[in-house]
Structure 1
Amino acid sequence: MPLRHVPRLLPLLLGLLLVVAMPLQAQQPTAVIAAEVRLAPWSDPLASLGTLRADESVTLSATVTDVVRELNFRDGDSVEAGQLLVRLADDEAQADLRAAQALREERRNAVNRLSQLQERNLAPRGDLEDAQARLRQVEAEIQALEARLADYRIHAPFDGRVGFRNVSVGTLVTPGAELVTLDKLDVMKLDFTLPERALGEITPGLALRATSAAYPDTAFQGEIDTIGTRVDPVSRSITVRAQIDNPDGQLRPGMLMNVAVEREARQAMVIPESALIPQGRRQFVLTLEPSDEHRVTRREITIGARRQGEVEVLDGLDAGQLVVAHGTERVRDGQPTRLLGILDESTSVPELLRQDRDDAGANG
């Protein structure tokens, strides 16, 4: 190296020597958020797919041949039990009823006259009995006509919501012609199947949750109402029927539902799922030692079932230990840490981070 460059390199060389000669500075503790290994009720749900049905459902149809005279609903209306929905033209039936009523009056008068005559022994008793029989006959005919007239008026058999009407005023309908559907939707029936081996774990009244692709963020609560009496010999499954309240009318018959039946709960050790450090098929966590600057120790654990945001720990941890739930990617085994807080039902990661920033600003 030419000597003329030596003066220029001297400051750099002196700086390097100073860096080497200085003692190593202690590492600044890394800020982490912890969670406590806690004992909590845990239930492994039985999962299935189910189909919704209305609590009550009927297709209203005509039983006589005639023209639609009146429609007292619109598509999708909520109706009450007994409400008149459809009236067919009944002019001919009404005329037959009036004729029968007039004949009844005539025969009633005849019976009254014969009764008076028979009391004075001026008429044979047989004539009076024949007249009374003819009166009973016409009264029976009137009852039949009144029942026939009821077929011209179609009422709602229960409270519910009508679907699309398939006819208009003036349409000629025949027996069996579908007029409108009616569904009771305040409570829904959910039919699904479970494996035969689950028979010993389910009972009527057992709680369940159901979700739908239409409402992915809403869990509908219900309970098992009836368990089928037969096991399918092919699929080895049993049909179960549950009831789900539907006060807002969100659910519809025919919807596909994801069902999770809550089995009897057990006590389990639980940690946040965010504390897991997966490595192949193995799972690790970082535990904290409060008596030693919250120093980190990497530990392998055995996990069980999972649920939203939480995981069951089968082995490797004890209840009450602290594990790193936020910041696992920034610390290594053996490092000290600065604990920002412990997650629980009353705290969250954003709140703890915000509090740390506020404290740092106040101290700065």
Structure 2
Amino acid sequence: MKRLLPWTIGLAALIVSPVAADDIPVNSTLLKIIETVEVPAQQAGALDKVNVREGTIVELGEVIANIADKEVKLELVAKKAEHAIAEREAENDVNIRFARKSLEVSQAELQRALDAIANFPNAVTQTELDRLRLVVEKNRLEIEQSAEQQEIAKLTADLKEAEAEITGERLGKHQIAAPIEGMVVHVFRRAGEWVDIADPVVKIVRIDRLRAEGFVRSEEAAIGLQDRTATVRVTLPHSDKLVVEGKVTFVDPEVDPVNGDVRVWVEIENADLKLRPGLRVEMSISTEEAPQEKTQDAPDQEAAEVASES
């Protein structure tokens, strides 16, 4: 959990730079939040712990609250034990080995009877011979039945394993984790309170990346501003004017019929968390097009063109 704010500046460094004369000015620019999430409970129960408060900086995946889970933990132990028992039964081949041995014995008895009849036609009665043949067939069927029972035991083991995994997933939902990095701005539930599924527990806003939203003239938007470099300038109290560079991520296709303006968005980094949503700022968009990235086969194409010219 982040308890101290980082003061290093990331990719979009805060710098001081003049406004280019040919840049496109953006009117009524306001800093806004890009991501805000009310984190819900995924299981019903009483909150054991709430690990955050308003103002806490949380990381992605950090556990922010726990729902009572003793009963589910005991259920998971039982499911794992059932799976272990089922696996032992699936691996047990004693019945198959015994059935095979019984078949060998019964086949040997039948063969001795047949040999006796060959030497002495009346040595074994027909009734006894039929009984020996029936025993042999019975032992063959016992082998098949034992093999089928072992296959069923394997399937049962797979079922018990799946049940244990489902219980483990349900146990994991008793931990409420942060879905984004950001700051906790509201705690809806406290330790000891009951929550139902989908009840919000905390509200998190992402503040390390913001959106500057403003308006340009429709004729300026028509030149294609998407992905253009933009510069945001803001004067903070007791501080020099700060300048942050970003990129145009959205140009509204609709023109305001009253004033002819078009809404544009620029995403900027706020690595040191000095900028706050709601601030009025100055913004301008560069008239230079963003450089096109070369594809991997571009050098090969250039080499081919040189070769053809020569």
TM-score class normalised by the smaller sequence? 0.5 to 0.7
**CA distance 1:99–1:156, shift in 2 (3 Å):** same
1:110 and 2:89 matched: yes
The one-character-per-residue Cα deviations of 1:168-187 (angstroms, maximum 9, x if unpaired) are 11010112211112223222
Bigger Rg, structure 1 or 2? 1
Shift of 1:104: 1.0
Q: 1:124 aligns with which of 113, 128, 146?
A: 146
Alignment RMSD (CA, Å): 2.9
Contact map agreement 1:60 1:179 (CA 8 A) in 2: yes
Q: Give the corresponding residue for 2:246.
A: 223
> Which letter does structure 2 place at the counterpart of 1:90?
D
Cα separation, partners in 2 of 1:260 and 1:137, compared to 1, 3 Å: same
Output aligned runs, 1:8-157, within 5 Å: 42-43=21-22, 45-113=24-92, 115-119=93-97, 121=100, 124-157=146-179
Instruction: Decide whether the 8 Å contact of 2:26 with 2:215 is kept in 1.
Output: no
Quick one: which amino acid aligns to residue 96 of structure 2? Answer: Q
1:159 to 172, 176, 181: 181
Of all paired residues, the percent bearing the same amino acid is 20
Alpha-carbon distance, 1:84 to partner: 1.4
Higher-helix-fraction structure: 2
Structure 1: how far apart are the matches of 2:238 and 2:34? 20
**d(CA) in 1 for partners of 2:20, 2:43:** 61
How many residues are paired up?
224
Whether the 8 Å contact between 1:85 and 1:155 is mirrored in structure 2 is yes
State the alpha-carbon separation in 2 of the partners of residues 75 and 233 from structure 1: 38
Match of 1:177 in 2: 199
- Return the offset for 1:132: 1.1
Over 3 Å counting, the alpha-carbon distance change for 1:215 and 1:118 in structure 2 is: farther
Contact 2:26 2:285 in 1 (8 A): no
Distance in 1 (alpha carbons) for counterparts of 2:198 and 2:94: 51
**Runs of 5+ unmatched residues, structure 1:** 1-39, 266-364
Give the CA deviation at 1:44.
5.8
**Structure 2 unaligned spans of 5+:** 1-18, 101-142, 289-310
Deviations 1:85-108 (A, max 9, x none): 111001221122122112112211
Q: Which has the higher contact order (CA 8 A, sep 6+)?
A: 2
Query: 1:297-318: per-residue Cα shift (whole Å, max 9, x none)?
Result: xxxxxxxxxxxxxxxxxxxxxx
CA offset digits 1:90-142 (Å, max 9, x no partner): 122112212211211221121122x3432553562111111111111111111
Q: Which amino acid aligns with 1:154?
A: I
What is the deviation of 1:215? 8.2
The residue number in structure 2 matching 1:289 is none
